[in-house]
Structure 1
Amino acid sequence: MDKFIEFLPQHLHQLDLYLIQYGREACEPGHSFGPAMREYYKFHYILDGKGIYETNGQRYELHKGQGFLVTPGTICYYEADANEPWTYCWVGFDGIKASALIRQAQLSDESPIYTWEKSEFFEHSIQQMKQSKAMKAGRELKLTGLLYLWLSAMIDCRGSELKDKAKENSKEHYIAQVVHFIEVNYANKITVQSISQFVGLQRSYLSALFKEVMGISLQDYLISYRMRKACELLSGTTLMVGDIARSVGYEDPLLFSKMFKKSMQLSPTQYREQKLT
């Protein structure tokens, strides 16, 4: 069995995106994993052969040129074919922006399969990761860059693959755009109007659509997201309240404190003190 794998130090959990492990394996016939779950995201890409992937009650028969996504906390099972066992490579990763990038690639538990015939790209990516072990400095940055390239490839291939499907499911497509826009820009002075301009819909229609799909108003979702980020900063940093206010999109610290207390039933200072006790 031809296999190599490297696990990376996991002290980078505050980063936007970071690599946890990568590897390549020519599996023995019937070689399997699971049923079990991972605590991080993992992309597999099939370089040769075939096998099966099972998750969420679905069974997928996969072959060369296809791949599958494993998501955190989801029980899955995969097995190499008994006659033509697959050879695959993989990357395991996580980070603050991981879920948003996965959504941008239009992959999920319900839609975990992708197809891309450019197997040389994935082979080359894994080889570059492996060769980076010889670097004397800057390796973490190199690995993160390679991981971003892998994800950009996912977004590219899925974007072409699902272009027509996205049009058919326009409601979900628009909501995904909105959520991604908020995740990237919540620290800026964005409004419902600027979000509607970004996705190309009238404000009133987008507001009604968002409430229909998400069960919460767009304005309330934006405030809630900012407050969650503020909670992370209050409990995980020593930043002043005014700095935190600006970090989550509020120029006026008093307005921020008012909105925070309305959402959390505690002032920012009280919340921080409670978390420290």
Structure 2
Amino acid sequence: MIEYLPRSKQHTELHLTQFGMEDCIPGHGFGPAIRTHYLLHYIFNGEGIFEVGGSRYRLRKGQGFLICPNVITYYQADEANPWSYGWFGFNGTLAESLLKQAGLTPSSPILYYDRDDRIYQYLQFMAQSSESHKARETRLTGLLYLMLSLLVESGPETPPVQKDSRAEIYVEQVKDFIEMNFSQKITIEDIAHFIGLNRSYLCSLFKRQMNVSIQDYLIRYRIDMACKMMGNAELAIGDIARSVGYNDPLLFSKIFKKIMGTSPKHYRSLTVNRG
């Protein structure tokens, strides 16, 4: 059983290209050949060999192998105990990263998973997904994520990465909070409460890391966003003011002029003329 799938325009981060299952006949092989996408084979029973980059692996139940795009590979079922396997092909901007998390790379292409039969179950669910119509692509993508999550969870422990300092983490949390909530009437106290730090300590830490106060950073961020909105002719100056957290258009105009050196109205005229 094999099914090929059309290119996904909706799930560019990760999407299936094909999937299938097969009980191979003795000595059945494929290649040497290349693929244009990632392809993972998982062995349900039996054994066989996989060759890539001058290396030869003998594999059996509970193991599998990764074929990377544009890499020459060859694989063959054993003559005496041919394998039965399932496979799924996939691509997308997240594919390489997720495989690395599972410990699977071109130089380390062998997977190990003997916890349960969920890989087999998910392949069965993929086959049954043909009963869906509108949601099939989304369902298949979800099953692909579940499949890869099993491999990540059971993969080798990765060495600890260099962690950011605690101060850098707090600064990023402040910036993220402002980015997500600048349009609301937020205060420094709100930010400190969200992060869980004393207000004075957080302000001191942020100033030391960024050479600007949280309040000034917030104001500058709001004005930068307001400048980006000026090109939208459907938004009045008052609309823009409210969109960046200022319910008082006069206060907005005063702050805008202080930061940009000109009034919002004049800035907008310059923006329109440049366009």
TM-score, normalised to structure 1, is 0.57
Aligned to 1:174: 161
How far apart are the structure 2 equivalents of 1:73 and 1:147? Answer: 21
Mapping 1:1-277, distance limit 5 Å? 4-12=1-9, 15-158=12-155, 162-163=156-157, 166=158, 170=159, 174=161
Structure with higher Rg: it is 2
* Structure 1 residue 136 displacement after superposition: 2.7
* Structure 1 residue 122 displacement after superposition: 1.3
Q: Deviations over 1:162-213 (max 9, x none)?
A: 22xx4xxx4xx638x99xxxxxxxxxx79xxxxxxxxxxxxxxxxxxxxxxx
Q: Which amino acid aligns with 2:109?
A: P
Q: Deviations over 1:44-67 (max 9, x none)?
A: 100000000010111000001101
How far apart are the structure 1 equivalents of 2:114 and 2:94? Answer: 27
Gaps spanning 5+ residues in structure 1: where?
179-188, 191-241, 244-277
Q: Which amino acid aligns with 1:105?
A: A
Asked whether the 8 Å contact 1:12–1:18 carries over to 2, the reply is no
How far apart are the structure 2 equivalents of 1:151 and 1:31? Answer: 27
Asked whether the 8 Å contact 2:39–2:90 carries over to 1, the reply is yes
* Structure 1 residue 119 displacement after superposition: 5.0
How far apart are the structure 1 equivalents of 2:114 and 2:19? Answer: 20
How far apart are the structure 2 equivalents of 1:119 and 1:44? Answer: 16
SS of the equivalent of 2:56 reads strand
SS of the equivalent of 2:117 reads helix
TM-score, normalised to structure 2, is 0.58
SS of the equivalent of 1:141 reads helix
* Structure 1 residue 94 displacement after superposition: 0.1
Asked whether the 8 Å contact 2:11–2:141 carries over to 1, the reply is no
How far apart are the structure 2 equivalents of 1:37 and 1:136? Answer: 32
Q: Which amino acid aligns with 2:134?
A: A
How far apart are the structure 1 equivalents of 2:50 and 2:154? Answer: 20
How far apart are the structure 1 equivalents of 2:8 and 2:22? Answer: 26
Aligned to 1:235: none
* Structure 1 residue 138 displacement after superposition: 0.4
Q: Which amino acid aligns with 1:157?
A: S
The 1:119–1:29 alpha-carbon spacing in structure 2 relative to 1, beyond 3 Å, is: farther
Q: Deviations over 1:3-58 (max 9, x none)?
A: x0000111438610000000000001000011111000011100000000010111
* Structure 1 residue 156 displacement after superposition: 0.8
SS of the equivalent of 2:161 reads helix
* Structure 1 residue 74 displacement after superposition: 0.7
Aligned to 2:221: none
Greater fraction helix? 1
Deviating 4+ runs (over 2 angstroms): 11-14
